[in-house]
Structure 1
């Protein structure tokens, strides 16, 4: 376990061969999955965040728009936004998972020589760690990050930002269920 400014930061890695989303293990209370998309030649840049509890239930999430100039910048910003959302929800023991290897590697390895395009957002993420008792960073394959991926696609399709507490948009419930977890009831 490393420490960041005296705060515990656990470094994790993805080892599940099934490549599906999996619940976090104790002592963590929530898992923050983040994903982003950037379309070259377009102003569409979407970010998706889903925070789930120990049994996989949706706690809070967001489909957001961004204005960065590269996909790696949007991927780094969504980590900052995910940490902010988790702090706002008053969560203290979290796992942050993303499928952008460059961003997660910079966070996991405390790289001081990361891509200049993301260095400011990596510093912001490191400062936000102070809001939590314990943070674990995990890189995951895209298949294990389907809900965050669907949320960022929703932002790009709607061209607007939205967030939710407890109940994701109906269009995303099928993704929760495809992870083998129960989703909220459909009305």
Structure 2
């Protein structure tokens, strides 16, 4: 276990946990390559038994780590909305994204990312049930793999209705590890 000020942050053997029905779970991640300054985004939407519903990835020519993380959440929530999903648990391994969602102060701290933060807050204000949670990077493997693919590809936004082969191992690991806790 890892603690901060006597509060448990996460278990070292933590695993991906499917959402309770009727929720779906959106896991997102951003990737940034400092040597090329390219960024990628990725995410996966799964149901209460861990079944793949949608996955996405995107690449961008410029960016930074926080822009990639914020963009991934905005893209993932937009996909959920556009396909009619209305009960969402969104998980990200970026604490700053959670801070941006919860911030009631002006966008001054977020000046560089103002458009993304506005888009995120607009999505959150829609008529749906949504919660955004922080998770450790170790249990965000599928989204991490998709975001890495986005950062290394030249493909604009792509949506998969079935898991692409390059992410199958991570998907299977999540499903198997979630069975241990059910």
Cα distance per residue 1:106-164 (max 9 Å; x no partner)? 21344535432223212101111244421101011101111000101112233324221
TM-score normalised by length of structure 2: 0.82
Distance, in Å, in 1 between the alignment partners of 2:101 and 2:40 is 21
CA displacement at 1:68 relative to structure 2? 3.9
Structure 2 gaps, min length 5: 1-7, 178-182
Match of 1:40 among 19, 34, 48: 34
Match of 1:169 among 164, 167, 171: 164
CA displacement at 1:41 relative to structure 2? 3.4
Structure number with the higher helix fraction is: 2
TM-score normalised by length of structure 1: 0.80
Q: List aligned pairs for 1:3-82, cutoff 5 A.
A: 17=11, 18-26=13-21, 28-82=22-76
Distance, in Å, in 1 between the alignment partners of 2:34 and 2:43 is 22
Structure 1 gaps, min length 5: 1-13, 183-187
| Aligned partners of 2:59 and 2:153 also within 8 Å | no
Structure 1 outlier segments of 4+, above 4 Å: none
Distance, in Å, in 2 between the alignment partners of 1:174 and 1:76 is 26
Q: Does 1:103 pair with 2:97? A: yes
Cα distance per residue 1:38-69 (max 9 Å; x no partner)? 11231421111101111111110111112443
Between the two proteins, the alignment pairs up a number of residues equal to: 167
| Aligned partners of 2:44 and 2:142 also within 8 Å | yes
